[in-house]
Structure 1
């Protein structure tokens, strides 16, 4: 009988130790998941199909081609859509995979930097804005500041010429939900 009691006591101690290890492991996993940023999951999903629902009510459904610190580039049947991450209300299609931490250059390639590239190439764009009154603006991105852009408004099928520009509007970047280049 003494041996039975000894073995029972040892088994109980091992079970308690296993429970402690399991609890520590679960806590470590929770801590790691808590530190995961959406951009790390997005960079791991490059080349995968995603569906986005945006703050302005728009939907973008296609292949994720790029992901920066605050933007996504999705290719769908209508072309490529540049979407600020802040405009995304819902993402469908992400896996649990994570990308390695971004490099120094990648961390600095924010939405304003990408929009400056759009301004340099002078292509006509369509811009979707947040809110009921937002709608869609067309024109050419003239300048991009730290937190806004200037859009020369003209028909998307016209070149930016003095006679075709109907005015220049300033769009705060947080108001932007999607940008598509024409053509």
Structure 2
């Protein structure tokens, strides 16, 4: 029996050293995985997060105006389209969003997003002669029809909702820089 006692101590020592080595390797692997995850998350853009949330209910906290809630219908290069709780659709530039509630942690490839920018989306509303409500960064809401969409601005023929865009109904003409647009809601 005395012959086995020293052998048992060596086995315990080697088992302990093996366990320490495995624990160290596990800590290194965990650290590497955490580092890689942080690097991958750092490369994710907001548009990819929105692309993964198509159809989901979101609440957009905007630079001006009330919180806009509804289902995410579409996403573009620098804008999104939200079907509001009121049933109206709103084009919202990313730059006007100061926070989002309800956005999942996952992301999707950018190919799920429209490749065109805000100007192109607004040109569609202009072409269709849709009456819109434009909210600016100052919180002011102006209704009318988009007459012109430039490279970085829109011209709005101001008129009341429910009236057509006729010269007799137009009360003014407003130029709004894209940088000042918070949302463009179809009426």
Q: TM-score, normalised by structure 1?
A: 0.91
Q: Does 1:162 align with 2:149?
A: no
Give the structure 2 partner of residue 33 of structure 1. 41
Deviation at 1:57, TM superposition (A): 2.8
Which segments of 5 or more consecutive residues in structure 2 lack a partner in the other structure? 1-8
77, 100, 117: which one pairs with 1:110? 117
Match of 1:100 in 2: 109
Alignment deviations for residues 71-101 of structure 1 (CA, whole Å, 9 cap, x no partner):
1111122411111111111211111121123
Cα-Cα RMSD: 1.5
Q: Deviations over 1:110-159 (max 9, x none)?
A: 1111001111111111111112xx51111110111111111111222211
Partner residue in 2 for 1:55: 63
Judge conservation of contact 2:75–2:114 (CA < 8 Å) in 1. no
What is residue 17 of structure 1 aligned with on the other side? 25
2:186 aligns with 181
- Rounded Cα–Cα distance in structure 1 between residues aligned with 2:98 and 2:55: 21
1:63 and 1:127 map into 2 onto residues whose CA distance is: 19
Match in the other structure for 2:83: 75
Structure 1: gaps (5+ residues) = none
Match of 1:127 in 2: 134
4+ residue stretches of structure 1 with deviation over 3 A? none
Query: Aligned partners of 2:56, 2:83: CA distance in 1, in Å?
Result: 10
Structure 2 residue corresponding to 1:144, chosen from 123, 128, 149: 149
Decide whether the 8 Å contact of 2:61 with 2:98 is kept in 1.
yes
Larger Rg: 2
User: Which deviates more, 5-14 or 110-119?
Assistant: 5-14
Aligned residue in 2 for 1:65: 73
**TM-score scaled by length of structure 2:** 0.89
